[in-house]
Structure 1
Amino acid sequence: MWGLTVRGICEVNGKILLLKVRSKSSHDANRWEIPGGKVKKGEFFDDALRREYLEETGLEITIESLYNTIQNNYTACKTNEQIKSIQLIMKVTSRSDEVKISEEHDEYGWFSKDEVYRMIDENLLSKAAMNAFKKNKEL
């Protein structure tokens, strides 16, 4: 089965927003990820990204451009089905940096580009986030 996921890299004052996946998650627990999520059936991906961003961070975003595309394969938690997910990684902006995270995440942080690269080296990012940043060397 194939799925579509959208994620948004938001940079405010030279810092990039990342969310820490909750410790009880079956996927990427305690790793940092780019905010976003699955596109629902019949939903436009830009609407999905704005919805997911608001749900996960409380931020209203504007989508600026395509940053990267990656494929991220995983096993569905509820059905054990193998999913091949195409992920659209977008550059987004927000007028605010006041984040209110959902229960899906334990914490959030604004990180410099150097800190993000260090997190990649230390294997602290989710697989999808690591692939998104590695494939496009220019943050």
Structure 2
Amino acid sequence: MPMVGSVYILAVRAFIEDDDGRVLLIKRASDSKTNASRWELPGGKIGTGESLEEALKREVKEETNLEIIPEEVMGVVEQKFPVINAAHIIIRCRAEGSVKLSHEHEGFAWVEPSDLRRYRLADWLSDFVMKLKIEEDKEDSPLGGILRFMRGVYL
């Protein structure tokens, strides 16, 4: 009997840094179907016919009221659910405006990257942060060297 392949949805996430190098985290509402009461990056699913940039701008505006300027893809991380999986594409962004949260979220924080581990992160974000930390710590890793050069030693 042939095996059925995994079904994936694509999501985009904004890694927004302020002028002091802090990262914007938003906290999901306690009644959320996924990642309830967990901290994550703004963003969400890509709609039919949307580009990555269109979806990211729409989702961030809906969730935080911020206008963003996407800059570069930082990486991709997978999140497994019982029926489907999500691939989160994390994009570094600049933002303008003041944060005003949607009803889907109950808090936000500008966090020093070294303090990320103090927050109860969504599993996918925790995995991504750990992956960045591992790559950054590898002395012979090209990605680690780039991360150290670009961001300093945050994590």
Match of 1:79 in 2: none
Compute the TM-score of the two structures, normalised by the length of structure 1: 0.86
Q: How many residues in Structure 1 have an aligned counterpart in Structure 2? A: 128
Match of 1:116 in 2: 116
Render the CA deviation track for 1:16-54: whole Å, top value 9, x for unaligned.
Answer: 100001011121111101110000111111110000000
1:127 matched to 2:123: yes
Please show how residues 44-83 of structure 1 align to structure 2 within 5 Å.
44-75=51-82, 82-83=83-84
Match of 1:24 in 2: 31
Match of 2:12 in 1: 6
Partner Cα distance (1:18, 1:93) in 2: 14
Q: Which has a greater percent of strand?
A: 1
Structure with greater contact order relative to length (CA < 8 Å, sep ≥ 6): 1
**Offset of residue 111 of structure 1:** 0.6
Unaligned runs of 5+ in 2: 1-6, 134-146, 148-153
Task: Mark the structure with the bigger radius of gyration.
Answer: 2
Partner Cα distance (1:46, 1:131) in 2: 23
Q: Which amino acid aligns with 2:9?
A: G
Q: What RMSD in Å do the two structures reach over aligned CA positions? A: 1.3
Render the CA deviation track for 1:50-102: whole Å, top value 9, x for unaligned.
Answer: 00000000000000111111111224xxxxxx111111001011133x20000
Match of 1:33 in 2: 40
Q: Which has a greater percent of helix?
A: 2
Match of 1:105 in 2: 105
Percent identity over the alignment? 34
Unaligned runs of 5+ in 1: 76-81
**Offset of residue 118 of structure 1:** 3.1
Q: Which amino acid aligns with 2:53?
A: D
**Offset of residue 113 of structure 1:** 1.2
Partner Cα distance (1:46, 1:135) in 2: 24
Compute the TM-score of the two structures, normalised by the length of structure 2: 0.78
